[in-house]
Amino acid sequence: MATALITGASSGLGAEYARQLAARGADVVLVARDSDALEALAATLRRAHGVGVEVIVADLLDGAQLDRVVTRVSDRAHPVDVLVNNAGIGLPLDFERNDIEVEVRHLRLHDEVPMRLIHAALGPMLERGRGRILNVASIAAFMPRSTYGAAKGWIVSFSRWADVVYAPRGVTVTAVCAGFVHTNFHARLGLPPGEEGIPGWLWLDAPTVVSASLRDLARGRSVSIPSLRYKVLARLIPLLPDRLTASIGRRGR
């Protein structure tokens, strides 16, 4: 039976990945800062699916707490078969107004933390000759969108390279590039539903995004873009002038 470790598992896409993977029979390791939310989700998954559930309460920007997650990911006696790097935060797009230390934390969470966890996972996975790594990126990776787009662009580029190098050895790497998804992500930025500045047709729901990306993960695709509308946008945006795409990217948060 496979074991999946999911970061940012207390809510949003992370919780949905946990639900869908558990429904497929995988044991899950839930990682996030919110102990109460993790324990509630763990109880639900055990009751609904009868799978094994571990809870690791950790702030991934704290070195010692991140080390505990790295240790679990690299545990050869209790291997992780699927690593889902989902933890993330959002910031206002006005870089010059943001506190630089907050920006650095934003960069570390979106790029350094997944890089460390991927590195920890690869050794045991390559030894076994199998494993899957899924990195939650964003459609923002394809457009100029402050440091968020830049951070997500890195994870997409790295995922594509890693998949080419490691897939022949049994370990696939997939970057998920969803667009705007109905979760609590925007609410945490102080934007209640309906006040995000995004047209209704651009919104996706979490179950659809997760199920589509898990299908692409199973197929070994290096980039997963759930929904036709965002597939079209991902191809169109790089053809447009930066000034125009940066202006488009400023819509919403």
What pLDDT score does 24 carry? 97
- Confidence band of 194 (pLDDT split at 50, 70, 90): very low
Check if the beta carbon of residue 175 is closer than 8 Å to that of residue 222: yes
Long-range contacts of 244-249 (CB under 8 A, 24+ apart): 245/143, 245/144, 246/143, 246/144, 246/145, 248/143, 249/93, 249/140, 249/143, 249/144, 249/145, 249/146, 249/149
pLDDT of residue 203: 86
Share of the chain above pLDDT 90, in %: 78
Q: What integer is the mean pLDDT of 128-140? A: 97
Average pLDDT score, the chain: 91
* Least confident residue range of 28-32, 128-132, 138-142: 138-142
The model's pLDDT over 54-69, given as tens digits with 9 standing for 90+, comes to 999 999 999 999 999 9
pLDDT at 1 over 80: no
18-33 pLDDT per residue, tens: 999 999 999 999 999 9
Could you list the active site residues?
148
**And the tokens for 228?**
């036709």
The mean per-residue pLDDT over the stretch 179-194 comes to 61
- Compute the distance between CA of residue 112 and CA of residue 2 in angstroms, rounded to an integer: 26
What per-residue confidence (pLDDT) applies to 219?
Answer: 97
pLDDT digits 0-9 by tens, 206-248: 999 999 999 999 999 999 999 899 999 888 888 877 877 676 6
What DSSP string describes 51-93? --EEEEE--TTSHHHHHHHHHHHT-SSS--SEEEE-------S
pLDDT tens, residue by residue, 157-170: 999 999 999 999 99
Q: Are 76 and 9 in contact (CB under 8 A)?
A: no
**Does the pLDDT value for residue 191 go beyond 50?**
no
Tell me what pLDDT residue 74 has: 98
Average pLDDT of the residues in 84-92: 95
- Across the range 62-80, mean pLDDT stands at 98
User: CA-to-CA distance for 116 and 71, rounded, in angstroms?
Assistant: 11
